[in-house]
Chain A
Amino acid sequence: GAGVSQTPSNKVTEKGKYVELRCDPISGHTALYWYRQSLGQGPEFLIYFQGTGAADDSGLPNDRFFAVRPEGSVSTLKIQRTERGDSAVYLCASSNSGSNEQYFGPGTRLTVT
């Protein structure tokens, strides 16, 4: 079956602009995770959804970052007033109810100029 998909694959934006990154999890997966990966580093946790609600948003770096999952499937990560330091690959993962296995999408490479 289809894996986790993310759009766009690449996004270039100017400093100060607003961006939205989309994640489409594996069908039926109830848990959805957002991570951010900077160059030469491992992924760092941002936020975790169980169904429609954010179960843990402790990784969001500040209030410019926000994520939603209104119908418990697709999720959107929203970044306001982007800064050059936000440049990274944003990864989404999903897992099935009762499973500890997280499956990752290909990521969105965000470049803030």
Chain B
Amino acid sequence: GEDVEQSLFLSVREGDSSVINCTYTDSSSTYLYWYKQEPGAGLQLLTYIFSNMDMKQDQRLTVLLNKKDKHLSLRIADTQTGDSAIYFCAEGTGRRALTFGSGTRLQVQP
């Protein structure tokens, strides 16, 4: 079945860039997503990329997709303490269920 994998933890200093990586196995994935979850809260959709795109930029966020290697990354420029959260990568095929990774905890040190 589908599988999505992420590293567990990333620590950066405030003002640095953060790069969170994700790999997936389902070659039929149409959309790849990044969600953010703060403690005790639901998931917030940050951004997503269509599988025929290589890159998408949205303010401080840059998503890179290497479809050949099934590798997705999220870069956060000028990381702030408010960016501290768990970031989930997910894959899906349109309006169907999403398959999530286990999440990467981002810790931003002042």
Q: Name A residues whose Cβ lies closer than 8 Å to a Cβ of B.
A: 4, 31, 33, 40-45, 48, 50, 56, 59, 91, 93, 95, 98-107
Residues of A within 8 A of B30 (CB): 100
Q: Name B residues whose Cβ lies closer than 8 Å to a Cβ of A.
A: 4, 30-31, 35, 41-45, 48, 88, 90, 92, 94-103
Nearest Cβ on chain B to A91's Cβ, whole angstroms:
6
Cα A70 to Cα B86 with chains together (Å) = 34
Nearest Cβ on chain B to A56's Cβ, whole angstroms:
6
Do B97 and A91 touch across chains, with their CB atoms under 8 A apart? Answer: no
Residues of B within 8 A of A100 (CB): 30-31, 48, 92, 94-95
Cα A33 to Cα B101 with chains together (Å) = 17
Nearest Cβ on chain A to B18's Cβ, whole angstroms:
19
